[in-house]
A and B are shown apart, each in its own frame.
Chain A
Amino acid sequence: MSETTSFVLNGARVTSHANSDTSLALVLRNELGDKSPRIGCMLEQCGSCRVLVDDEPVFACTADLETVAGKRVETAAAIDSPVVQALLDGNAAQCGYCLAGIAVSAEALFRSHRAVGTRPARSDIVQALDAHLCRCGSQARILRLLEDVEDAS
């Protein structure tokens, strides 16, 4: 099954030589050197592995490499936006293990709203982040910070 898979990672074209059924998270972390998608459960239960694929949040742990062929992948390693800055400025995390995935899902939400000229309500933010677990108890703070994002769209 050895072949090559090409896609755009954080704006740069990359090629992986891993098997097409390899976990996208492991390819990003081990072959392409992007350690921002975390391994938490490999079960789509915690969200810490999430990345954007063509602007949609995807669980990279269970996504096969072949599903991103020719697509645009973005990760917390490179996303720099009002959402990410608000999370960093507001010390959104304690241990920070879950933060990359949360930042990715929040970014997707704000982009989708920006596209139609709206602003996500608290309930939208909660819904977007319900695929994520945080054990340090930073959820209340993360919600506060995202409600206050000044999205210069």
Chain B
Amino acid sequence: MTPAELPVMLRVTASLDRWLEFSDGRVIAHSGRVELGQGLRTAMAILVAEQLEVSIDRVTVPDPTTASAPIEGVTAGSMSMEIGGAALRQAAAWARRLLIQRAAARLGRRVSDLVVRNGEFMIGGEPTGVDYWQVAGDGFDFDIVEPTAERQSDEYPERLRRVDLEERLRGGAFVQDAAADLHARVVRPPSIFHRLVECEATLAEPGRLIRRESFIAVAHPDESAAIELAAHVAARCQWRRLQPFSSAFPDDSVDNALAIVDGALTESKALNVETEMTASYSRPFLLHGSIGPSAAAACFVDGRLTIETASQGIGLLPGVIGRALEIDAGSIHVEYVPGSGCYGHNGADDAAFDAALIAVACPGEKVLLKWSRQDEHRFEPNGSMMRLGMGATVRNGRITAWSHEVASYTHVARPSPGAEGIDLIGAWFAGVGEASTPVPRFAAETDMHRNAVPLYTFDEAAVSAKLWADPPVRTSALRGLGAQGNVFAIESFMDEIAHANQLDSIVLRRRHLDNDLRAIEVMDAAIELAGGLDGARGFGIARYKNRQSIAAVVAEVEVDEETAAVSVRHLWIAAYAGRVIDHDGLIHQLEGGAVQAVSWCLKEAVSIDEGGVVGEDWEGYPILTFSETPIVDVMLIDDRDAPPLGAGEVTVGPTSAAIGNAVFAAAGIRVRDLPMTPEALRRAASA
């Protein structure tokens, strides 16, 4: 099958040699996307092996660097397979076509006479003695300007061991494991709103004190000593808060909500739709909470800066860091090295900047900078708090009018060369850059309005978004952006509407899903997988960004009558993600998102006071433990003719709503404000 259009990333990087190399009996497939633990390298290897008809273990997908890999922007938004995979698959199809032509010419045969078996050319079932590597020579010197036909396997392996998992288990794979001349730690103020008054510390060699305005760091060849020096210096620093802290809930009285049409924010003010039933939902600030604190390595030699980082956007860092440190972006080389779990814009970019600044102060020595657990909890960008105001009118068993207003701080504050500011906290402390001012983002399905438009069709619907200013903590992208809050509100409200009107909530959903047969199929599959919705069970569904994967979730909970504690016992997930490439990897992404959402929903909320983030470790900000983890069953609906779709984010919203709806089924308590702690249940019960 030939794709109708050339994949967009091939229009950015047309040279086939940038995508594929044939060397020593191996295929080296370069993706500009990074392996965050989502199984990307394995899935890409499957795609390439399929096109080239080689076994998967002959394909290597290396971690990218700014010199080696095609430029592919940020690995985010569940787009890696759909966009990145499409490009690499098409590049591999071109490589196969060109190599067969070369082999046919060498053998004096027609292309149609040749068959490929594990990289070797066969004629009439017999080996020709010619293989890819013999005819690949020095490469292709070929630009891809139009699509070519792609092979399509009927199915892919059920379970393949991830190509990179053992090295991650055995040690040495992570950026935290990098060898270095100097171990460095930053000495941070209480919050991003604090600046240095004075620092009275001096350090003796071989300890180093790196200081640039309010940016303070220490370095030492011995890591234990670096940790001790950081504590020593921290005790000798005084900080002041730049602006007073306000604990007030964001001001919602200002009428500045903008209308959302077809998923995109518009310049028009929000429409006012009269509705008879209303409800307000919220979610708090959330941490990414990677188990390994952020880290990066850097080395500055002869004006050239090399950075090892777990950033999602290695191609974006040279421009931003270069601007902040006044180094030409062309002199900054960035290598991706895996980090601890990445669920959006975490501290990886900030750590890269911190390491770079320290390295520039210690030229010729390789620096490994690690944040402490406390640095991570206090300074990683939070997923923003959200408030969702919902309204509906029901006539004759149908929802005739619907309104949804989402209000939130920004969900998108990644560092980018094109941004107005330098969105790296080290730069703010060092006085070499200011944060960008958040502005409404008009693109479809991004920021707080991701999944604000319902999957359902209503006669009249008004959807709007309101951007709050001046957050009390730094916010940026966390798994799904606004999708978790929006879907939690939509799917909880659907249940509330059904209950208030004595309707079956699934029947009500089906009534308004009339245009989406695939969504109905996924909904039915989840309910069937669970064996029905009777008992302490709840349901939720969403199509990510209203155009990607679909997930439907049934949750079963238990609510302790005495303590009001909620436990989630079981999740059943049905999902559609187009053509399934890595069956087991896809299931893992779906269940990972769902289990993380259980943690968000039951336990998590960042609390903030004038000293900044309050809980600075796992006791202060607890997350889901093994004993609190539900059993998870996942089923996939595979469509071999559809493009593959990402699935790392699709389950967070439906899972959250399914839990809330199950709590209502179990205890008759509607919890509209996350997390569903015992206090929240008692508050909701007495409201």
Contacts and interface: CB of A to CB of B under 8 A. Distances in A.
Q: Do the two shown chains form a genuine complex with each other?
A: yes
Interface stretch (A52-60, A66-74, A110-118, A129-137): A129-137
25 contacts: A29-B177, A35-B171, A38-B174, A38-B176, A38-B291, A39-B292, A41-B617, A41-B618, A46-B618, A88-B169, A91-B159, A91-B588, A93-B165, A93-B169, A96-B168, A99-B165, A99-B169, A133-B618, A133-B623, A134-B626, A135-B288, A135-B340, A135-B343, A136-B37, A141-B588
Given A132-B626, A134-B626, A137-B599, 14 more contacts: A29-B177, A38-B176, A40-B292, A88-B165, A89-B161, A95-B291, A96-B165, A97-B291, A98-B291, A130-B626, A135-B290, A135-B291, A139-B595, A140-B630
A144 B521 CA distance: 28
Contacts of A2: none
A94 B290 contact: no
Most buried by A among B340, B588, B623, B626: B626
Contact of A137 (B169, B338, B373, B591): B591
A81 to B, nearest CB: 12
A30 interface: yes
Contacts of B485: none
A135 B172 contact: no
A108 interface: no
Given A95-B37, A130-B626, A143-B626, A138 B171 contact: no
A136 B592 contact: yes
A142 B629 CA distance: 11
A130 B625 contact: yes
A94 B588 contact: yes
Nearest to B592: A137
Contacts of B173: 96
A62 to B, nearest CB: 12
Interface string B159-191: 101101110111111101100000000000000
B516 to A, nearest CB: 27
B165 A77 contact: no
A52 to B, nearest CB: 15
A132 B170 CA distance: 17
B292 A35 contact: no
Interface string A34-48: 111111111101101
A43 B585 CA distance: 32
A103 interface: yes
B84 interface: no
Contacts of A75: 171
A96 B172 CA distance: 12
Interface string A1-41: 00000000000000000110011001001100011111111
Q: By DSSP majority rule, is chain A's interface helix, strand, loop, or mixed?
A: loop
Q: Which of the four size classes fits the interface of chain A? A: 35 or more
Q: By DSSP majority rule, is chain B's interface helix, strand, loop, or mixed?
A: loop
Nearest to B652: A137
Nearest to B38: A94
A98 B339 CA distance: 11
B253 interface: no
A141 B591 contact: yes
Given A35-B171, A94-B38, A140-B591, A40 B373 contact: yes
B368 to A, nearest CB: 10
A136 B36 CA distance: 10
Contact of B626 (A45, A100, A126, A136): A126
B77 interface: no
Nearest to B287: A135
Contact of A143 (B343, B585, B617, B629): B629
A87 interface: yes
Interface in B570-597: 584-585, 588-589, 591-596
Given A18-B224, A38-B176, A84-B169, A129 B626 contact: yes
Most buried by A among B341, B617, B619, B623: B341
The 3 closest A-B pairs by CB, nearest first: A137-B595, A96-B168, A95-B37
B555 to A, nearest CB: 13
Contacts of B596: 135-137
Contacts of B39: 91, 94
Most buried by A among B164, B290, B339: B290
A96 to B, nearest CB: 3
B372 interface: yes
Contact of A95 (B168, B177, B293, B372): B168
B452 to A, nearest CB: 25
B631 A96 contact: no
A136 B618 contact: no
B240 to A, nearest CB: 28
Contacts of B632: 140-141
A114 to B, nearest CB: 21
Given A139-B626, A143-B629, A91 B585 contact: yes
